[in-house]
A and B are shown apart, each in its own frame.
Chain A
């Protein structure tokens, strides 16, 4: 059983801490902190040595983290699409790309010549149709 005097002392200490915290202006305190100087004093390597990554990862629910990632937005905001495109090609798609590219080149060649014959400058393939045009955001 805890002595009564000790309980009073603990309650008094807690109250004192509450009063000190409420009296503190945390924003002003943070303004005074020189974070750069603080970070200079931190030995990152030593800190990393002390972190048990396996234990940390075990405590993390990675599936939950992945579910929160908006893949569409990620692909839109980064050049991830280009990286995927660059890494996911096989021999068949190389041949397909080459065939399509050359045919498009022939399309352009014909269109350019038709433009010259009609004395109208050719400015690239027309389109897209109305419903395929990108719409302005809200």
Chain B
């Protein structure tokens, strides 16, 4: 995929997507960027909800409510919201909004759909992967099945779910 200096070819899909990637274990960049999008999206929705509550309180009572990120209620409600966001998404369809955007999906380690129980366990185990400078994520880079610590605990894996071959054909039809 690396282009040599002076290579004048137009930037297209990488060589790896000459074949469909569907079902193959997803790599680090796809998973990380999907997670970053999810954090942004869920945080945005949460802040919008707080703003809506503040606005409603001002209209109904005439008093302003201010939220500090150190407030225990803010921490608790944000944690609950994040849990619901990730656990529900993984249980319902195997993917969050960010994962849908980047074409990756959570499945059981044998490839079948992840159950609600596994989705909940995965969500609860997810913070453990951040411990010890994110050592739990090393499995994505080094493991044969690209599984992080929370994947191993929940018995799940993350696979590519988009049809890369069709994307390449679309690209070729327009070039």
Contact = CB atoms under 8 A, between A and B. Distances in A.
Interface of A: 81-82, 85-87, 89, 93-94, 96-97, 99-112, 114, 118, 124-133
Interface of B is mostly: mixed
Ordered nearest first, which 6 A-B pairs have the shortest CB separation? A107-B27, A128-B23, A129-B111, A131-B111, A85-B166, A105-B14
A53 B23 CA distance: 48
B119 to A, nearest CB: 17
Contacts of B141: 110-111, 114
| Chain A interface main SS type | helix
Interface of B: 1-2, 12-14, 16-17, 21-30, 33, 101-103, 107-112, 141-142, 144-146, 157, 159-160, 162-164, 166-167, 169-174
A137 to B, nearest CB: 18
Contacts of A112: 1
Contacts of A93: 170
A117 to B, nearest CB: 10
A118 B108 CA distance: 28
A99 B14 CA distance: 12
A81 B20 CA distance: 13
Contacts of B17: 101, 104
Contact of B28 (A89, A110, A129, A131): A110
A53 B173 CA distance: 35
A100 B27 contact: no
A118 to B, nearest CB: 8
B29 A125 contact: no
B157 to A, nearest CB: 6
